[in-house]
Amino acid sequence: RFSPLNPTDSGFGLGWDLQLSQYNPANQILSLSTGETFKVTGSGGQPDIREKKLDSFHFFNDGGGFYRVVHKSGLEEILREGGADRIALPCQMRTAQGHVVTLYYDIEGRGRRLVAIDNADGSALLRLEQAEARDQLFLRLHPGTLYEALFTLQMGTNRWVTRIELPTEEKASWRFCYDLQPDGGLRIKRVETPVGGVETITYAQIPHYFPGAEGRTLARVDTHHNDPGTEPEAIVVTRYSYPADHHNFLGYGSDVVWRDDGLDNLYRASDSYVYSSIESLWDVNSDTAIRSISRTFNRFHLMTVEETTQNDNVLRNDTLYHLQPDTEFEHQPAYCQLPETASQTWYSKSNPAHKRTETVTTTYDDFGNLLVQVNATGVTETSTWYKAEGEKDENSNVLCPRDPQGFVRSLKSMTVTPAPSEYGAA
């Protein structure tokens, strides 16, 4: 995975990584393999994480440089500190089904570089070998078996990944071209696919601005040109536009002053703050938009409105969340980022009064489990879940054992209730 926000080289080239979970004790930032990032705000064996709402994972400090991340899915990751930077990386991963893999690293610079992953029986799952000139990285999946597959990452002396070669006879590959952002960060501007396609990204002259941090900016995409390499008619061009007030996910234009403390700055903005963008599918021949999608987000990065327009037709999606008005994120309910109502409305611009709307209503518990869903048809689905401490019947027979990690995740019952009808009971 490549990220222009990642300035480090963890052995896979600048900006590239395997998206493994990691914890940095220096700044207390926990990055999960799910893509989520949190600031650990407490201390002790199970420290508090202020911005974690749903009880979807547990984080433990086991002492001695060891940490654990236990996910509601059943995945458990053991992290261990190492290297001069002391960043804790996974040394073992266990699934709910009992599968275990062990990860090994070599010291490189101030950090560590992944070199091997083994199965529980000691067999090799993955081997990573770096060329002496550090211009190639070889990834061998299932090495030494009939199923061995070799992936090769080509890099320049600047450690920019320019080519990822796939395990095919034709040596099919992905090729990448980059340029530098004004702040020196790396960003992709061109991708060539193994099947002959070319994707080109151009960046807007006006960047995203940081709130209360004059001169600090972040690049934003202007166009995405996708040429599949077959015929000119198949070229797809997507353009992106942004509001004149420059509101964005960073919080520019709010009363917030940027802090590099690992917490989400936009959460401190006023309740009325919104930001938006418009994605337009562009017809190159007529130089007009064929279809446009406008999206609006609130201060908690939740999409509240999505409106798709094509010719005279409009599809509007409105989402209302379980949010308390004028309430800080810390004091919102655990399920505040989940939808309370989701409405779809179809209409024509030429006759907006004639429209059709379908609405789905949902409620959840603190673990993100669905409790009640009322569909647009009027059918109600009600779910109950076993308690984390387990449950027994009146004869002390175990219906569901205690959850070893304290999660509520075992479905107890589901009831489907037909929509009310003037014709009486079914």
The answer to whether residues 334 and 426 belong to one domain is: yes
3 state SS for 372-405: EEECCCCCEEEEEECCCCCEECCCCCEEECCCCC
Residue 115 CA to residue 104 CA, distance in Å, equals 6
Rounded to an integer, the average pLDDT of 332-345 is: 98
387 with 297, same domain: the answer is no
- Residue 333 and residue 397 in one domain: yes
Q: For residue 111, what pLDDT is reported? A: 86
**SS3 sequence, 22-48?**
EEECCCCEEECCCCCEEECCCCCCCCC
- Tens of pLDDT, residue by residue over 349-403, are 999 999 999 999 999 999 999 999 999 999 999 999 999 999 999 999 999 999 9
**Domain identity same for 388 and 328:** yes
pLDDT of residue 377: 96
The mean pLDDT value for 238-244 works out to 97
Do 303 and 346 lie in one domain? The reply is no
Q: pLDDT value at position 425?
A: 60
Could you give the percent of the chain with pLDDT greater than 70? 99
Paired strand residues for 316: 307, 345
- Please state, in angstroms and rounded to a whole number, the distance separating the CA atoms of residues 407 and 55: 8
Backbone angles phi, psi at 8, to 5 degrees: -105, 165
Instruction: State residue 108's pLDDT score.
Output: 84
**66-75, 88-97, 164-173, 183-192: least confidently modelled range:** 183-192
Report DSSP letters for 126-147, one per residue.
EEEEE-TTSSEEEEEESTTSTT
Report yes or no on 85 lying in a domain. no
Mean pLDDT score of the chain, rounded to an integer?
A: 95
Task: Give me the mean pLDDT over the 285-306 stretch.
Answer: 96
Residue 252 CA to residue 299 CA, distance in Å, equals: 11
Instruction: Give backbone dihedrals phi and psi of 234, rounded to 5 degrees, phi first.
Output: -90, -5
Q: Which residue, 253, 276, 310, sits at the end of a domain? A: 310
CA dihedral 400, 402, 404, 407 (to 10 degrees): 80
- What is the value of pTM for the model shown? 0.92
* 267 φ, ψ (degrees, to nearest 5): -60, -20
Residue 424 has pLDDT above 80, yes or no: no
Last residue of a domain, one of 310, 342, 360: 310
Q: What is the mean pLDDT of residues 77-89?
A: 96
**DSSP character string of 255-314:** S-----SSS-GGGGS-TT--EEEEEEEEETTTTEEEEEEEEEE-TTS-EEEEEEEETTEE
Cα separation, 267 vs 300, whole angstroms: 6
Give Cα separations from 86 to 30, 290, 383 (angstroms): 13, 51, 44
Cβ neighbours of residue 72 closer than 8 Å, sequence gap 6 or more: 55, 56, 57, 367, 368, 407, 409
In a domain, 192, yes or no: no
Residue at a domain's end among 283, 310, 337:
310
- The pLDDT-based confidence of 426 (bands split at 50, 70, 90) is low
**CA distance linking residue 344 with residue 318, whole number of Å:** 7
- Give the pLDDT mean for 15-32: 96
248 located within any domain? yes
One domain for residues 386 and 411? yes
For residue 318, the surrounding DSSP H or E stretch is: strand 313-321
| Confidence (pLDDT) at 275 | 98
Q: Which domain holds residue 328?
A: 323-426
Three-state secondary-structure class, residue 89? strand
Q: What is the tally of structural domains in the chain?
A: 2
Q: Which residue has the higher pLDDT, 231 or 169?
A: 169
